[in-house]
A and B are shown apart, each in its own frame.
Chain A
C-alpha cells in the first residue's frame, strides 16, 4: 500500500497544514477602523494654507525636495516667509500646549534654502482653450503671488510694477539683516521662470492710464501701502526728522546715510523695528518710543526680543506732541505721558493721556514709523470705499494686498493674491465660486488650498477635511517631551557692524529633529503605531503611495489602532 509520507507522520502526531486565514474573524466585531484626516491648527492659521504636517513629515524623512514642492504648491515665497513671516502657525501649534511649539518657520526657510537651484524651474499646467490674458498691477508679495498662481493655472499674465525692480515691501521695506536680497532675488527668479510678461517701471495711472487695461480679460490690483503717514505734530518737517518708509527705502537702495550719536524711533510696529534695528547698525544709540506698552506692540515678538538683545532701549506710554530745536544742534522731542485704559474696538487697551505729565528727550535724529497708507488716487472712484478697495469691485476687477480690508502682513498679502487667482480662474471658467471655495477651504480661518483646487478643477471629488484637530484629541503618551532647537545667531559684536543676516537657520540634523517633533495633528505620518499594535496584523501602510489599508474580513474591531493613533487619524465606526 502506498501511503503519503505526510499522512504517515500524522499517524504519530496530528499536523495542521492549513491556514487560519480561511476563518473570517472579522465577523466577531461590530466596529471597524476608518481613516479620517483633519486639518492641523497650524495649517488653518497659515494664511497661505501651506500643508504644514505634510512638509514637516517629508522633512523629517529627509525627503527635502518633496517637502519644498509641498510648500511651493501653496506659497510662492517660502524663503521670504521662512524669514519674515509673523508665523501664526507656531502660535497655534498644538505642541505648544504640551512643551514647545514646532519650529515651523525655521523649517520653511530650511527646505527653501536647501532646495537646489535646478528645481527652481516650475511648470505651468496648460489649460488650453480656457487660457485668458490677465493684468496684475503691483509687484509686491500679493501681485507676485497672484501672477504665480494664475500662471500655474495656465493663464497669460502681464505683471506691472511702478518701480524698476519687483518685490515691493520685500525689496524696499524689509532690511537686509532680516531678509537678504539674494534670497528675494532667487524667489522672484523662480516665479519669473513661469511665462509671465514683465513690465517694470510702468506706473498704472501715471505712465499708462488704467483704462488701457480694459484689453485684458481680468485685472488684479495690489497697490502696496507706500504713502507715509505723518504724525501731524509741530516740527515734523524739520531737518533730521525722517519718515520710516523713506529711511528704509534709502537703506535698501544702498544709499549712504549718516545718523547722529542718538536716534529716537517713534512707533511700535514692524516698520519701527526695522527702522530702529537698521539705525543701530548705522552706529547710533536707539530708543523706541511707543504710546502703549511692550505687550501691545504690533511688531512680531521675536523682532522685539532680538532688538532688545541688540541693545535697543524702549520708552513706553509716551506720545509725541512737539519736536523743536534742542541744545547743540540737537532735537528736543516733547512727549505726553500716557496710561492704559479700557479696550478699543480691536480689543487692544486704549492709550489715554495723563493730564499735565510730559517728558522731553534730546536726540540727534528722529525717525517716525507710525504706519503707511495706500495711494488710491489713480483707482476709479467707484472701486474705493472707506480708503480701501473691495475684493471684487467689478466683475473683471479683483484686488488684494494692502489695499483691501485685511491685516497688512506678507502672508496675508500672498494669501489674497492666491485667493484672487482662484476667484479669477473660477469666474473666467464660469464655475460657481461658492461651491468650489467651500471644498478647498483649509479649516475655518479663510485659507485656501491650491492642491485641493487643482484636484477639484480636474473634476475629482476630493475636498479639504472639515474638522480641525485639537490638542485634546492627541495622545501625548506617544510623544517624548523635547525642546525646540535654539536657532544659531551671529554674535552681537558682529551683527551690529553690518546688515548681514542675523539668524543662521537650521543645520540638517537640527532640521530633521525639529520636523520630527511635529505631532502631525490629524494627518497620518506613518509612525507605524497602528501597524505595530494591531494584534491581527491586518493593517498595512504605504508611505510612498500614502495609503493605509485594513483587511476588514479579519479585523475584530478591537479599536487598538484608533486608540494608539497619536494624531487622531483613525476613527472607529459601527458597521452592521
Chain B
C-alpha cells in the first residue's frame, strides 16, 4: 500500500527522551501508523519516564500506565472491555521494553498470546534496562558491555521471535526505525488482523549503546544490513517472509560503531559473525520453505 508520509504526530513534543533517542522515534512512527483511534498501554520503562510529569503527558492518544510486567494483560483487558462495549474500531497497542517483554513480562505475554486477545504488542527493544541505568537483560547481545556486565555479556540474546512463533499467534514481525516505511506497513498490517500481534521493534539507544546522539537510524540500518537483525514476519507461527534483501555487510560495520562493543577482540567478533551467519541461514531456509505461500 502507498502510505502517506506526513501524518498527525501522537508523540508530542516536549517529551523527556534523551537527545537522539531511537525509542522515541520508534514510538512516533508506530503511533502515526496506528492513527487516532488507539488506546495505548505503557509500563515503567523508558516510555513511562519520557511520557511527561503529571499533569502533562507526551501521548496524544488515551494511554494507560500499568505495572512493569503486565503490559499485555492490561491491554487485553482494555481490548475485551472495548469489545463488550462494541467499540471495534478502537485498537489497543501495548508498549513494553525488552526487560518487560523478554524477562519480567514473558509469562504474562505468553498467557495473553495463548488466549489470542486482540492487541498489538510492541516490544521496544533497546537491548538492556536502559531506564534504570543500563543493566543487562536477556535481550542484551553477546559480549555487549552493560553496567552489570562490565566484561561483556557472556550470554546470547534470547530469540523472542521464535518464542512468539511457538504460540502460533496470527502475526509477529521484526521492524526497526531505520526502515520507517517497512515499520509502518507492518503496523498497518497488524491492525487488519484479529488476535495477538507482536512487533519486535529494535530501537538503538545512544545513551546505553555508548554512541554519539546522531547515530540511531544508521545503527538501525546497519543492524539489518549486517544480518544481525533481519526484517521478517511470521504468520500463524509457520509462514516466514523476509521483507528486505540485506547487503550482508560484515558485523564489524555494526559493532565497532558502538562503545558497548569497543572491547571486543577478533575472536569474539568472529564468534558474533558465526552466530549471525548461522541464524541467517536458518531463517532463509524457513522463509524459503514457505515463501510460495505468502
Residues of chain A touching chain B, judged by Cβ–Cβ distance below 8 Å, are 14-25, 28-29, 475, 477-478, 481, 528-529, 531-538, 540-541, 551, 554, 556-560, 562-564
Complex Cα–Cα for A25 and B58 (A): 12
A531, B212: Cβ atoms closer than 8 Å: no
- CB < 8 Å neighbour of A563 from B22, B29, B215: B215
A536, B13: Cβ atoms closer than 8 Å: yes
Nearest residue (CB) in B for A29 is B19
Q: Does B292 sit at the interface, judged by CB under 8 A?
A: no
B56, A18: Cβ atoms closer than 8 Å: yes
Please give, as numbers and ranges, the residues of chain B lying within 8 Å of A533 by CB-CB distance. Answer: 25, 177, 180, 216-217
Please give, as numbers and ranges, the residues of chain B lying within 8 Å of A541 by CB-CB distance. Answer: 5-6
A14, B212: Cβ atoms closer than 8 Å: no
B56, A536: Cβ atoms closer than 8 Å: no
With A28-B19, A558-B19, A563-B218 as contacts: A18 and B55 at CB distance below 8 Å: yes
A531, B6: Cβ atoms closer than 8 Å: yes
Nearest residue (CB) in B for A23 is B14
B214, A563: Cβ atoms closer than 8 Å: yes
A20, B12: Cβ atoms closer than 8 Å: yes
Complex Cα–Cα for A21 and B56 (A): 9
Nearest residue (CB) in A for B65 is A13
Taking the nearest CB of chain B, how far is it from the CB of A533, in angstroms? 4
Complex Cα–Cα for A90 and B11 (A): 43
20 additional A-B pairs beyond A528-B6, A533-B177, A558-B21, beta carbons within 8 Å, are: A16-B55, A16-B56, A17-B57, A19-B57, A20-B13, A20-B16, A21-B14, A25-B13, A25-B15, A25-B16, A477-B218, A477-B221, A529-B217, A533-B217, A535-B24, A536-B24, A537-B9, A558-B214, A560-B215, A564-B218
Interchain residue pairs A-B with the least CB separation, the first 4: A558-B20, A559-B214, A20-B14, A558-B19
With A535-B20, A537-B11, A537-B13 as contacts: A16 and B57 at CB distance below 8 Å: yes
Chain B: interface secondary structure? loop
Taking the nearest CB of chain A, how far is it from the CB of B54, in angstroms? 5
Complex Cα–Cα for A536 and B14 (A): 8
Taking the nearest CB of chain A, how far is it from the CB of B185, in angstroms? 13
A18, B222: Cβ atoms closer than 8 Å: no
Residues of chain B touching chain A, judged by Cβ–Cβ distance below 8 Å, are 5-6, 9, 11-17, 19-25, 28-29, 51-52, 54-58, 177, 180, 206, 212-218, 221-222, 225, 247
With A28-B19, A532-B180, A560-B20 as contacts: A16 and B52 at CB distance below 8 Å: yes
Please give, as numbers and ranges, the residues of chain B lying within 8 Å of A22 by CB-CB distance. Answer: 14, 56
A540, B6: Cβ atoms closer than 8 Å: yes
Complex Cα–Cα for A416 and B13 (A): 52
With A23-B14, A535-B17, A537-B13 as contacts: A564 and B217 at CB distance below 8 Å: yes
Complex Cα–Cα for A540 and B20 (A): 17
A531, B5: Cβ atoms closer than 8 Å: yes
Please give, as numbers and ranges, the residues of chain B lying within 8 Å of A28 by CB-CB distance. Answer: 19
Nearest residue (CB) in A for B245 is A480
Instruction: Give 9 pairs: A residue, B residue, CB < 8 Å, sorted on A.
Output: A16-B56, A20-B15, A25-B15, A535-B21, A535-B216, A540-B6, A554-B13, A559-B213, A560-B217
Please give, as numbers and ranges, the residues of chain B lying within 8 Å of A528 by CB-CB distance. Answer: 5-6, 180
Complex Cα–Cα for A519 and B114 (A): 48
Nearest residue (CB) in B for A14 is B54
B56, A20: Cβ atoms closer than 8 Å: yes
B28, A535: Cβ atoms closer than 8 Å: yes
Taking the nearest CB of chain B, how far is it from the CB of A7, in angstroms? 12
Complex Cα–Cα for A558 and B204 (A): 14
A16, B54: Cβ atoms closer than 8 Å: yes
B6, A554: Cβ atoms closer than 8 Å: no
Please give, as numbers and ranges, the residues of chain B lying within 8 Å of A537 by CB-CB distance. Answer: 9, 11-13, 28
Complex Cα–Cα for A424 and B17 (A): 58
Please give, as numbers and ranges, the residues of chain B lying within 8 Å of A532 by CB-CB distance. Answer: 5, 25, 29, 177, 180, 217
Please give, as numbers and ranges, the residues of chain B lying within 8 Å of A25 by CB-CB distance. Answer: 13-16
Complex Cα–Cα for A513 and B215 (A): 29
Complex Cα–Cα for A478 and B14 (A): 29
- CB < 8 Å neighbour of A21 from B13, B24, B225: B13
Among B14, B57, B58, B216, residue most surrounded by chain A Cβ atoms (within 10 Å) = B14
B6, A19: Cβ atoms closer than 8 Å: no
Taking the nearest CB of chain A, how far is it from the CB of B61, in angstroms? 12
A23, B56: Cβ atoms closer than 8 Å: yes
Nearest residue (CB) in A for B244 is A480
Taking the nearest CB of chain A, how far is it from the CB of B44, in angstroms? 15
Complex Cα–Cα for A536 and B28 (A): 8
- CB < 8 Å neighbour of B14 from A14, A534, A554: A554
Taking the nearest CB of chain B, how far is it from the CB of A565, in angstroms? 10
Please give, as numbers and ranges, the residues of chain B lying within 8 Å of A558 by CB-CB distance. Answer: 19-21, 206, 213-214
Complex Cα–Cα for A554 and B29 (A): 18
A551, B20: Cβ atoms closer than 8 Å: no
Taking the nearest CB of chain B, how far is it from the CB of A575, in angstroms? 14
B56, A556: Cβ atoms closer than 8 Å: no
Please give, as numbers and ranges, the residues of chain B lying within 8 Å of A23 by CB-CB distance. Answer: 14, 16, 52, 56
Please give, as numbers and ranges, the residues of chain A lying within 8 Å of B177 by CB-CB distance. Answer: 532-533
B57, A535: Cβ atoms closer than 8 Å: no
Please give, as numbers and ranges, the residues of chain A lying within 8 Å of B17 by CB-CB distance. Answer: 535-536
Complex Cα–Cα for A32 and B16 (A): 18
With A535-B21, A535-B22, A535-B25 as contacts: A19 and B217 at CB distance below 8 Å: no
Please give, as numbers and ranges, the residues of chain B lying within 8 Å of A481 by CB-CB distance. Answer: 247
Nearest residue (CB) in A for B183 is A532
Nearest residue (CB) in A for B62 is A15
Taking the nearest CB of chain A, how far is it from the CB of B87, in angstroms? 19
Taking the nearest CB of chain B, how far is it from the CB of A538, in angstroms? 6
Complex Cα–Cα for A531 and B29 (A): 10
Taking the nearest CB of chain A, how far is it from the CB of B273, in angstroms? 20
Nearest residue (CB) in B for A481 is B247
Taking the nearest CB of chain A, how far is it from the CB of B94, in angstroms? 18
With A528-B5, A540-B6, A541-B6 as contacts: A20 and B58 at CB distance below 8 Å: yes
A24, B180: Cβ atoms closer than 8 Å: no
A556, B19: Cβ atoms closer than 8 Å: yes
Complex Cα–Cα for A537 and B15 (A): 10
Please give, as numbers and ranges, the residues of chain A lying within 8 Å of B55 by CB-CB distance. Answer: 14-18
Please give, as numbers and ranges, the residues of chain B lying within 8 Å of A540 by CB-CB distance. Answer: 6
Complex Cα–Cα for A20 and B10 (A): 12
Please give, as numbers and ranges, the residues of chain A lying within 8 Å of B180 by CB-CB distance. Answer: 528, 532-533
Taking the nearest CB of chain A, how far is it from the CB of B45, in angstroms? 16
Taking the nearest CB of chain A, how far is it from the CB of B19, in angstroms? 4
Taking the nearest CB of chain A, how far is it from the CB of B60, in angstroms? 8
Complex Cα–Cα for A394 and B32 (A): 65
Nearest residue (CB) in A for B253 is A477
Complex Cα–Cα for A542 and B212 (A): 29
- CB < 8 Å neighbour of A477 from B22, B52, B222: B222
Taking the nearest CB of chain A, how far is it from the CB of B22, in angstroms? 7
Nearest residue (CB) in A for B249 is A477
